[in-house]
Amino acid sequence: MIPERIGRYEIKAEIGRGGMATVYHAHDPRFKRDVAVKVLPPQFLHDPTFRARFEREAQIIAAIEHPAIVPVYDFGEEIGQPYLVMRYMSGGTLSDRLDEGWIPLNEVAHIFSRLAPALDEVHRRGIIHRDLKPSNILFDQYGEAYLTDFGIARMTESASTLTGSNIVGTPAYMSPEQARGDGELDNRSDIYALGAILFEMLTGKQPYQATTPMGVVLKHLSDPVPRLREVKADLPDDYEAIIAKAMAKERTQRFSSVAEMAGSLETIARQPASPAVERGQGKPQAKPAKPGAAGQPAPLAELRESAGRAGPAPDLPRPKGRARLPVWAWLLGGLIALAGLCGLVGLLLTGGNLMFGPSPQPTAPPTLPEVSVTQALAPPTEAAELTEVTVFRDDFSDPSSGWNRSFDAGSQTDYAAGGYRIYVDQPDRMYWANPGRIFEAVSIQVEADKIAGADDNFFGILCRYQDPDNFYLLAISSDGFYQIGKYKDGEYSVIKNGEGYSNSIHQGKTRNQLRAECIRTTLRLYVNDSKLAEVEDTDFSRGDIGLMAAALDVAGTNILFDNFVAQIP
């Protein structure tokens, strides 16, 4: 039965229950915020071993105070039952995400780059986690990763006297030395567990599987490190080496630190990906582009497998032509023009003074708005309805800020001229880039300058990017068209009411201010503070964000993006 209150904390629901603790979603009336309350189960109340372990977890977390470790707010006891109060993480667990399948490569690199300093700091203090697994990696409302559950962590210099046995951990992620019950564990045991987690993130499957937990443990002890490409053939070879090193049976052959492992992942993630020879399970084959001018298929490589990599995509979106007027409209227009001509002749014959009034003063061309990165994304009419928090911004002045730098057959995505440039040097090609920031609800603003190329193009914003075959696209062209569409399983479609023509789009070689809102099931596109379209779609609920540019019939699209801002409502 769920208690109504623990201490001053009002219990809302049970989040999870394990062998060593129960966690509740609760509300703190004093600070008016939601929290997570972790309690020791009643059956362990009189076990000094478990009580000591529970209290030590609070002490360990409080001592570290790292921004990527779930913080402890309070520790207390209710009718003899100890509890600790932690930050409530509304983004779920990595285990939840893995239930949906493998994780995009750029998201994998981003998660590891965030957790690496935290875990290395834990290790520097002589603490080994000993139970790293996807359910112990949590996400906040911004999609940032955190470590939690230090319940069986221990100091490397202390004896393992709290369990009655040296064998602790979760079989699917347990290092060989941990499985053997070695008394002297070090940071490389945690690195092995991270290797097993990485394998699962890349493939959607655990590295070793058996019908019993002991069977899994025996495989960790004796079976060779499994090969990634035997599970998911479209992964780049470089990831095999990282898995092999992290999960080496001999710990002396593993990475010396988590930062070293994360750095290897980041290096691969930044490299231009090679087209995969064989596609992975569940991934559709790339479709050819429309035939070229000479009737031959336009060159189109396989989609790049790494999320965040620039790459070609099939079936590029094309704006519908402006509506053609029916015959009766042309006839009516001709009659009106004829009547106007008769009036003109009459005026000339009667002296024509009515034609020559004061000359109109020339008006200055409109000045494009210069938008500060601190400016709220909502236009003035909606500012009162949305309270937005900036969670990511980039003026692209730092080439190491996370966007990929790719060069492919003359096309490129790179930091340039104080911004981020996407240059497409082939027709019927689309290139994109992602920063590795995962959101559910997000509002994105960016300045886009057309530097060169035909006006028959497309450029804009991506949201809820799952992989190269599944994402939303909100884009405009330099000749005044716009679209809100989606790639689903590699097929592009315009979402209902998501395309048209607008005079709000500045045409030609000029700047446009774009804003895309992806909130719940609603997608909105704004250009230069004018809302162009609002559509509804339910296919994707969360994912990465990004930028894109495409050349349609004519190569040479060159778009320079600047002042990228992501906010959450």
Active site residue 131: yes
Which residues have a Cβ under 8 Å from the Cβ of 488 and sit 6 or more positions away? 469, 470, 539
With b for 16 or more beta-carbon neighbours within 10 A and e for fewer, the 200-238 pattern comes to: bbbbbebbbeeeeeeebbebbeeeebbebbebbebbbee
Beta bridge partner(s), residue 514 = 446, 527
- Give the ranges where 34-154 is alpha helix by DSSP (H): 48-64, 94-98, 105-124
- Are both 5-87 and 380-568 of the same fold? no
Q: Which amino acid would we find at residue 418?
A: G
The DSSP symbol for 523 reads E
3-class DSSP state of 290: coil
Residue that has been written with the tokens 């993130």 in this structure: 201
CATH of 94-270, one of 3.30.460.80, 1.10.10.10, 3.30.230.70, 1.10.510.10: 1.10.510.10
**CATH value of 380-568 in 1.10.760.10, 2.60.120.560, 3.40.50.720, 3.40.50.300:** 2.60.120.560
How high is the pLDDT of residue 163? 34
pLDDT of 168 = 62
Q: How far apart are CA 194 and CA 23, in angstroms?
A: 24
Residue 291 burial (CB count, 10 A) = 11
The catalytically annotated residue of 131, 149, 537, 544 is 131
Going residue by residue through the chain, which has 569 residues, state the pLDDT in tens, using 9 for 90 and above: 789 999 999 999 999 887 678 899 999 999 999 999 999 877 777 777 777 777 777 777 777 888 899 998 998 988 888 899 999 999 899 999 999 888 888 788 889 988 999 999 999 988 888 899 999 999 987 778 999 987 655 544 333 333 334 456 789 999 999 999 887 889 999 999 999 999 999 999 999 999 999 999 999 999 999 899 899 888 888 999 999 999 999 999 999 999 999 999 988 876 654 433 332 332 222 222 222 222 222 222 222 233 334 444 445 555 554 333 333 333 344 444 444 544 433 433 333 332 223 323 333 333 333 333 333 333 333 333 445 688 899 999 888 888 887 777 667 888 888 899 998 888 888 999 999 888 999 999 999 999 888 888 999 999 999 988 899 999 999 999 999 999 999 888 999 999 999 999 999 989 999 999 999 999 999 999 999 999 999 999 999 999 999 988 888 899 999 999 999 88
pLDDT tens-digit series, residues 493-531: 999 999 999 999 999 989 999 999 999 999 999 999 999
Distances (CA, A) of 266 to 108, 116, 282, 476: 9, 12, 25, 32
User: Which pLDDT belongs to residue 505?
Assistant: 95
Are residues 246 and 225 in contact, defined by beta-carbon separation less than 8 angstroms?
no
Give the pLDDT confidence of 171-194 residue by residue, as tens digits: 999 999 999 988 788 999 999 999
E strand spans, 388-488: 389-394, 406-408, 411-416, 419-424, 429-433, 438-439, 442-452, 457-467, 470-476, 481-488
In whole angstroms, how large is the CA radius of gyration of the chain? 29
CB of 443 within 8 A of CB of 568?
A: yes
What is the DSSP annotation of 239-253?
Answer: HHHHHHHHT-SSGGG
Residue whose pair of structure tokens reads 């969670």 in the numeric block: 391
Closest by alpha carbon to 484, among 493, 362, 420, 6? 493
What does the domain layout of the chain look like in residue ranges?
5-87, 94-270, 380-568
Residue bearing tokens 């027709």: 427
Enter the tokens of residue 479.
């000749």
In 3-state terms, what secondary structure has residue 104? coil
The residue with tokens 């076990």 is 47
Sign of the dihedral through C-alpha 95, 191, 265, 226: negative
pLDDT of residue 349: 37
Quote the tokens at residue 382.
């909606």
Task: Residue count of the chain, please give it.
Answer: 569
Q: What is the model's pTM? A: 0.54
Write down the pLDDT at residue 470: 93
Please tell me the predicted confidence (pLDDT) of residue 177.
94
5-87: CATH superfamily: Phosphorylase Kinase; domain 1 (3.30.200.20)
Would you call 401 exposed, middle or buried from its count of C-beta atoms within 10 A (0-12, 13-18, 19+)? middle
Whether the Cβ atoms of residue 70 and residue 146 lie closer than 8 Å to each other:
yes
Assign 219 to helix, strand or coil.
Answer: helix
| Strand, helix or coil for residue 233 | coil
CA angle, 474 then 432 then 411, to 5°: 130
Q: HSE on the CB side for 101, CA within 13 Å?
A: 10
